[in-house]
Structure 1
């Protein structure tokens, strides 16, 4: 039976039923109300912590608790409105998770500022951190407004490479201060300072995503198999060798363990995702450990940090080494005194670590006052941010978006691992900043930009495809002439009437 319409070109009944069953793009839930509800919880939890600190330390609620809650709520609300307007189909959890981490960091900084009044050289950090958080959310809104489509970033692949290298190399030309402990990772102009490596990780990810999208097929080729591994061709080793040398140069000239590890690890992870070759992971690990071993034996600053990692309690012995550090040992004792459930917010003594309790070792402060349970909850929030980023990569429809989402999520995860590993004694301390929690304006601003780009990718990935305009179904034309009323021989109506008469 023919499926063509014979009733004036209308859609057949079966086709009309299928069209009625389709979901229009406007009917797909965008989950913005879910995001708003989760944001309310993300603001309420830090407010509860803020009240808890005030009650524990002063016996009364903080006088400015409503102002703090209102300020954090206004910032979160502005970000939500920008997402609702410019990325309506973005992931609904990324913004609440980032807001929760940022709010918890502000609470802990205020608690440490309040306890550190008796310490020398204790500079309050809460006001500056709140200002930087506002600038970070402002940049978040700017990305939502200006970045119409993440695929536009692919046009600037090699420009991103040049800009990232300039940002990474710039601190080497500025003098370091005594309180920087030998690391040249800041650019200072009077009292103002910026850490360009925090922004370089995003720009480098854009370059890696654009480069690997074009070169992934060539890099996936293998020349031979050795011990179960597919060895890449010699000419394809060029990119990884260049990145390895650049990471070593950063480590040597800027004595920056964290950025060097993040830089090289990010490229190896993205290379593995693009090519699916395990051999790249093996080569990356071998080259990373080899380069680190060479630098550790020749660079004094790196060697000092490795010795402090190997013997964190050396500073408390009868004959402490000249360049030993008490901070790692103090942080381990702080984590140990917190136990399983912690001492309670405002009731620990991690402020004795002095300035590092707010920056490098803020996880020690959380671990003491929230305990192992609270610290695992913080890590779970970080894990959810990474998981949502990787889920965005799986949902992305274009290869550049997939690689960019994987790279940004991996950079975030690597930074959390490097900082947490250094604080807990798993790996040598690197001096990087814990995203959103620790004191550091550059880190807060850069990580808000990272969340914004991830949300723009998720908006494109989750946005329903536009329904194609249905073409009209052609109707079967009616025959013209004598055959219209029957086969030949029956005649026309006039002939039939004449014959009957």
Structure 2
């Protein structure tokens, strides 16, 4: 019989604090590098410019010590570093475009970062146990669909660059599909944990693939089809791919059937082909993807071509922060921020950024493995896959692996909608990881009730 250790697990908060200081130090060093390259001197108010990020990070760290002391110690430093590097690049583009500190996009991004962290902290206070979200399964699904529908309304809906994915309230705009991905992940987790047995075992075989019964999979497929329909009407292929990818990945985790991957890829390809036939906007994007350097593609948009040339000029080690010309491209601080880093940090730099994202996804999946309840396993894995898929869609778009879809790089790209959503996603992962790493005797009494188990291989 295996003995149970009485040694309490390490909480990791001191490690988290040390890594946070390292992360902020890297951001400060990058900021100084930009200032030296563009202005030739270090600004006298350096601490005022960089102290905001440190204050945000330390405030979140202190809340974790108080409210989630067993949370994963790597998640917060990773997202802080990604957010900080994004601020540095946006500030560098502000300088290139002649924008002042107070009027620049970097200052707005820092304000959005502070608001995003405040909302994430609020989520940690409100959500003391992730299992309570299971009671909101269908409410989350309905709210997610409503958010996807909002841009179609005639008064508040906004169309930008051929995609109707924004809502506007006075001077403020918001992309509701960003928040919808979290709500739909909660819905998928709650529904799949109830139906995983019939989805794994029951059904009829067709060409060697076991399909579930319609009454078992019908509700979740209906929600998915409605989501895709709304997104097709909004011509937002990127979010459609993201939501469907989350759905398929969580379905695979719940059932452990590889056949769902093949089915999902087939459905995604069929949906993309139908959307290509229906919308000229998507046909143009495919042309730019397949034949970037043709006169027709360049006349439609040379955005990808400029991004590729910028990354090529960066080479292996990059031109150095502040020494390239990423400002020559369109939306260099949002849709094309990855090529901006590629030009000035080179291949080594963008590989380091991708390694940070990979580590963040790994911590999410590790959290899922360590949980004792099926709902939490599915939710943590769904949130981790959401980050992974969004990074793949963005990086794949700017490197011509797939067509450019218009999504933004999590935590780094300019935009309040993305920051608010992704910091909230990080807060959910921190709350769930606190539950996963907490000793059994310190868990709420409700944990003693039987729960569904979902294995992760």
Give the TM-score normalised by structure 1.
0.84
For 1:267-320, what per-residue CA distance to the aligned partner results, in whole angstroms no more than 9, with x for missing partners? 111011101112221111111111110110111211111111111123xx3xx4
Residue among 317, 337, 362 paired with 1:387: 362
Task: Give the Å deviation of 1:23.
Answer: 2.3
* 2:359 paired with 1:359: no
Mapping 1:113-192, distance limit 5 Å = 113-117=94-98, 124-174=104-154, 180-192=160-172
Q: Given that residues 141 and 223 in structure 2 are in contact (C-alpha distance below 8 angstroms), is that contact kept between their aligned partners in structure 1? A: no
> What is the 5 A alignment of 1:32-47?
32-47=13-28
Q: Which residue of 1 aligns with 2:407?
A: 432
Displacement after TM superposition at 1:235 (Å)? 4.2
Aligned to 2:6: 23
Task: Write the distance in 1 (CA, Å) between the matches of 2:321 and 2:44.
Answer: 17
- C-alpha distance in 1 between matches for 2:27 and 2:45: 13
Q: Does 1:220 align with 2:196?
A: no
Label 1:272 to 1:321 Cα distance change in 2 as closer, same or farther (>3 A): closer
Measure the CA separation in 2 of the matches of 1:264 and 1:247: 9
SS at match of 1:23: coil
Given that 1:140 and 1:448 are in contact with CA atoms closer than 8 Å, whether structure 2 keeps it comes out as yes
Instruction: Sort the Cα spacing of 1:322 and 1:353 in 2 relative to 1 into closer, same or farther, 3 A.
Output: closer
SS at match of 2:113: helix
Counterpart in the other structure of 1:296: 276
- Given candidates 419, 423, 433, the residue that maps to 1:444 is 419
Could you tell me whether the CA contact under 8 Å between 2:148 and 2:227 is conserved in 1? no
Q: Does 1:453 align with 2:428?
A: yes
The alignment partner of 2:116 has SS state of: helix
Determine helix, strand or coil for the equivalent of 1:193: strand
Give the structure 1 partner of residue 371 of structure 2: 396
Contact persistence 1:247–1:261 (CA under 8 A):
no
Do structure 1's residue 71 and structure 2's residue 61 form an aligned pair? Answer: no
Distance in 2 (CA, whole Å) between partners of 1:22 and 1:257 is: 50
In structure 2, distance between residues paired with 1:239 and 1:283: 17
Give how far 1:326 is off.
0.9
Structure 1, gaps ≥5 residues long: 1-17, 469-501
Residue 60, structure 1, aligned to residue 41, structure 2: yes
Match of 1:50 among 27, 31, 35: 31
**Residue of structure 2 equivalent to 1:277:** 257
**Are 2:292 and 2:298, in contact at CA under 8 Å, matched by a contact in 1?**
no
The alpha-carbon deviation at position 265 of structure 1 amounts to: 1.1
Pair 1:189–1:114, CA change in 2 (3 A): same
For 1:89-118, what per-residue CA distance to the aligned partner results, in whole angstroms no more than 9, with x for missing partners? 000000000000000000000000100129
Q: Does 1:334 align with 2:310?
A: yes
Contact 1:358–1:439 (8 Å) recurs in 2: yes
Instruction: Specify the SS of the correspondent of 1:117.
Output: coil
Shift of residue 190, structure 1, vs aligned partner: 2.5
SS at match of 1:186: strand
Kindly tell me the number of residue pairs found equivalent between the two proteins. 438
- State the alpha-carbon separation in 2 of the partners of residues 135 and 390 from structure 1: 27
Unaligned runs of 5+ in 2: 444-457
Instruction: Report the more deviating stretch, 286-295 or 245-254.
Output: 245-254
Structure 1 counterpart of 2:285, from 280, 305, 319: 305
Of 246-255 and 70-79, more deviation after overlay is shown by: 246-255
Is the 1:232–1:279 contact (alpha carbons within 8 Å) kept by the matching residues of 2?
no
Distance 1:386 1:367 in 2: 22
Partner-residue secondary structure (3-state), 1:184: strand
- Specify whether residues 103 and 322 from structure 1 end up closer, same or farther in structure 2 by C-alpha distance, changes over 3 A only: closer
Kept after mapping to 2: 8 A contact 1:144/1:452: yes
Contact 2:52 2:110 in 1 (8 A): no
Shift of 1:139: 1.1
How far off is 1:401 after superposition?
A: 0.6
Task: Work out which of the residue numbers 232, 241, 248 in structure 2 matches 1:252.
Answer: 232
Aligned match of 1:104: 85
Question: In the alignment, is the contact (CA less than 8 A) between 2:124 and 2:431 conserved in 1?
Answer: yes
For residues 326 and 388 of structure 2, what CA distance do their matches in structure 1 show? Answer: 25
Q: Structure 1 residues 278-287 or 378-387, which shifts more?
A: 278-287
Matching residue within 316, 323, 347 for 2:323: 347
Note the C-alpha offset of 1:353: 0.6
Aligned counterparts of 1:292 and 1:421: Cα–Cα separation in 2: 16
Aligned-partner Cα distance in 1 for 2:394–2:274: 22
In 2, Cα distance between equivalents of 1:145 and 1:244? 31
- Structure showing greater radius of gyration is 1
Checking the alignment, whether the CA contact within 8 Å between 1:221 and 1:233 is kept in structure 2 is: no
Is this contact kept in 2: 1:54–1:61, CA < 8 A? yes
SS in 2 for 1:264: helix
1:372 maps to what in 2?
Answer: 347
Q: 1:84 is matched with which residue: 62, 65, 70?
A: 65
For 1:77 and 1:243, locate their aligned partners in 2 and report how far apart those are by CA, in whole Å.
40
Higher alpha-carbon deviation: 62-71 or 337-346: 62-71
Q: CA deviation at 1:241?
A: 3.9
